[in-house]
Structure 1
Amino acid sequence: MYEPNVVGDWQEYDEHAGLRVRVHRLEAAEPPRGRDDAAEGLAYFSVRVTVENRGSRHFEIHLEDGQIDVRIGPDGEGAFIDWRNSQFIEGFDVYPLRRATAVLYAAGPEASLAQVDVQIQLRVDEEWADRRMWSGGIGLHDGAVGAPTGAVPDGLACQVSNFLRDQAEEGTA
């Protein structure tokens, strides 16, 4: 069974040697240019998507609206995406040993933010890469191994953290 990445994990693309991506810095944050009227009564948060090139040639990267999907809560409802405040990667050449980061601002009911799933699909050199998903929640720190603060005890992020901890313990036994 496919297991999602935990927020903060790097994921490499086999079809593009040296290219890797991660979703990180999932945190409560107000947008820089003010709240959208459509998000009235919702709690804002931000998430970063970083693409890194550890290979020997450059890649043209696209990560725009429609290539990022954010779902919140136990039912996986769509979060409100504030496109006006978000920053995307539009046709940027990522050279070796360089990075490019997109910053996405979204909002949802505060009670649903303990479980956040972010799915992205990069376009690399005009070809679509495989979809990747990361799970986390507001209060889950990058690289956290234990139960996330404020997360639903049996939520997906907690299950992913427990799975990864169990795998690490099996590897050292």
Structure 2
Amino acid sequence: MYEPNVVGDWQEYDGHAGLRVRVHRLEPAEPPRGRDDAAEGLTYFRIRVTVENRGTRSFGVHLEDGQIDVRIGPDGEGAFVDWRNSQFIEGYDVYPLRRVTAVLYAAGPESSLSQVDVQVQLRVDDEWTDRRMWTGGIGAHEESVAAGAACAGAQGGLVHQISNFLRDQAEPGTAG
């Protein structure tokens, strides 16, 4: 079964040696050029998607609108994505030991932002990669929950479950 990444994790692509991507800095933020009227009453947040080349050759990378899908809340409803204020990666050559970052502004009801899923599908050298998913939340703080502690309510529940699962898998001597 395919397991989602936690926001902040790097995901490497098998078909493109040294190329990896991550979704990170999922945080509340206002867009730089003002709010879109369609987002009236919604809470804005920012997502950064970074592509890094640790290989020996350059890759032509595309990460544009339609290649990033943002879902929020327990039902996975689509977030409002502010395409006008977002900054994408459009045909950029990522040389070895270099990075490039896309910044996406989205919005949704504040009550749904404790669970945010981001799905990314890169186009590398005019070939589509497999889709990858990251999960996280706004206002969910893993540091404040002790390992193995039960999560009360929906506040960060999925994030805590994934973090605990990954922590259990990484600990030496854990049965598995």
TM superposition score normalised by structure 1: 0.92
**Which residue of structure 2 aligns with residue 83 of structure 1?**
83
Q: Paired residues, what number?
A: 170
Query: Which among 156, 159, 162 is matched to residue 157 of structure 1?
Result: 159
Give per-residue Cα distances to partners, 1:6-50, cap 9 Å, x unaligned. Answer: 000000001000000000000000000000000000000000000
Is 1:100 the equivalent of 2:82? no
**Identity %, equivalent residues:** 79
**Which residue of structure 1 aligns with residue 53 of structure 2?**
53
**Which residue of structure 1 aligns with residue 5 of structure 2?**
5
Q: Is the 8 A contact 1:80 1:107 kept in 2?
A: yes
Q: Is the 8 A contact 2:25 2:46 kept in 1?
A: yes
Give per-residue Cα distances to partners, 1:130-164, cap 9 Å, x unaligned. Answer: 100000001346xx566499982573222211111
CA distance 1:168–1:89, shift in 2 (3 Å): same
**Which residue of structure 2 aligns with residue 44 of structure 1?**
44
TM superposition score normalised by structure 2: 0.90
Give per-residue Cα distances to partners, 1:55-76, cap 9 Å, x unaligned. Answer: 0000000000000000000000
Question: For 1:110 and 1:152, how far apart are their aligned partners in 2?
Answer: 13
Q: Which has the larger radius of gyration?
A: 2
Question: For 2:154 and 2:128, how far apart are their aligned partners in 1?
Answer: 34
Please tell me the root mean square deviation across aligned C-alpha atoms, in Å.
2.1
Residue 15 of structure 1 aligns to a residue in which SS?
coil
Residue 166 of structure 2 aligns to a residue in which SS?
helix
Gaps of 5+ in 1: none
Question: For 2:31 and 2:162, how far apart are their aligned partners in 1?
Answer: 29
Letter in 2 for 1:107: A
Residue 70 of structure 2 aligns to a residue in which SS?
strand
Between 46-55 and 157-166, the greater mean CA deviation after superposition? 157-166
Gaps of 5+ in 2: none
